[in-house]
Amino acid sequence: MKSNFSSMKFVAMALLMACFTMGYAQCDQGNIYGQRGQKTGFAIVFADSNGQHVAPTAALSLPTFKGGNKAMCRYINKTKKYPVNLKNQKISGTTTVQAKVLKDSTLTDIEVVSSSGYEEFDNEALRVVKSFPKMIPAAQSCEPQDMIIQIPVTFIYEEEIAAEKKKAEMEEIKKDLMKPITLYFENDRPDPRTKQETTNTEYMGLYNNYMAAKSNYVTSAGKGLTGAQKTNAENAVQAFFNDSIQTGHDRLVKMTNFIVEALKDGHQVEFTISGFASPLSNSDYNKHLSARRIESVLNYMSQAHGGFLAPYINGSKSGLIIHKVPEGQVNHSFSTNAVRETVYGLQAAKDRKIVIDRIIVK
């Protein structure tokens, strides 16, 4: 470290404590299931070439990481590598790195002004800040200005372990999402006997109602049958509820959590959602019904996580690409028009579905 920064170091670190809200950001280290996690706060100190603290005014704008402080925080967390030796010893620390943001957006004079006390942390913090992309420079009355910034880079053992666990869980879910997700619906749901292609109904309510009607579907599947035929029909529908309807629901919840985390990490997600209906009504009606089923799933996703996905689904935010394919009815016919087969039977239950597949994360 250069000696001419020694006095500035004292001033800057005092300012770091006194002006903690300036440039404040938080990084949510919560897990993929939406539980509240630790928050890491940091404050950026801004100074002129003499080390004097500066604050934004109507005429003065400060250097900015593209995307803002939260984007900087995400970049640091994604880029930094916890020194193995210190991680094994469960050691945490913070290194403050200083840099000058020039008028041309480049960073120069990058060095440690407050050591963590561990050379490995200091070297890694330097590497991370030196890897920064160009920043938006300070400006005085719209004229670019050079300005010094100081950036604390934290290494917290507990957060590192939580991040590793989260990454492993995300990888497992990603593998699972390579297989299509199939969701099932009650007959003519949502919004029976209409030709609307949109609905305000959300899938979770439909799922809960369907599961609550399980005993009725099991009993009705065996109605009019006797002996082994009755038992087999009832057991097949019972197993379908437990193994298919519930499994599809659980996988949708995991997929939604995964997409939220992927978007927060700056990834782009793309998937196809197709809708199907049993061949009880005409093709035109079934296409509208399939479209409503697609919308009900997207309504659930829009409401999950406090509405985080809503702007991505309605197109006001980029990053999520959804291909909607309302296929309509499946291509087969029933051997009888009996309600037992066409509404409560296992084949009819399998026909009434949504399939989510071709999930791509970039």
How do the domains of the chain map onto residue ranges? 3-163, 177-361
| CATH number for domain 3-163, candidates 3.30.2420.10, 3.10.150.10, 3.55.40.20, 3.90.320.10 | 3.30.2420.10
- Sign of the C-alpha dihedral computed for residues 65, 69, 71 and 76 taken in this order: positive
String of DSSP letters for 13-49: HHHHHHTTTTT-EEEE---TT-----EEEE--EEE-T
Question: How far is it, in rounded angstroms, from Cα 188 to Cα 212?
Answer: 17
Q: What distance in Å separates the CA atoms of residue 161 and residue 155, rounded to the nearest whole number? A: 11
Give pLDDT, residue 39. Answer: 37
Burial state string for 200-233 with b = 16 or more CB within 10 A and e = fewer than 16: ebbbbebbeebeeebeebbebbbeeeeeeeeeeb
Q: How far apart are CA 280 and CA 228, in angstroms?
A: 28
Question: Average pLDDT in the 95-118 region?
Answer: 96
**pLDDT tens digit sequence for 4-44:** 433 333 333 333 333 222 333 334 433 322 333 333 334 45
What letter represents residue 89's amino acid? Q
**Are the C-beta atoms of residues 162 and 38 closer than 8 Å to each other?**
yes
Q: Kindly tell me the sign of the dihedral angle through the C-alpha atoms of 254, 255, 258, 259.
A: negative
pLDDT confidence of residue 347: 86
H or E element in which residue 120 lies: helix 119-130
For the cut 80, the answer to whether the pLDDT of residue 184 exceeds it is yes
Determine the Cα–Cα distance for residues 188 and 174; give it in Å rounded to an integer. 32
Give the 3-state secondary structure of residue 62: coil
What is the rounded CA–CA span in Å between residue 54 and residue 62?
A: 9
Q: Tens digit of pLDDT for each residue in 44-81?
A: 566 665 666 666 666 788 899 998 988 899 899 989 99
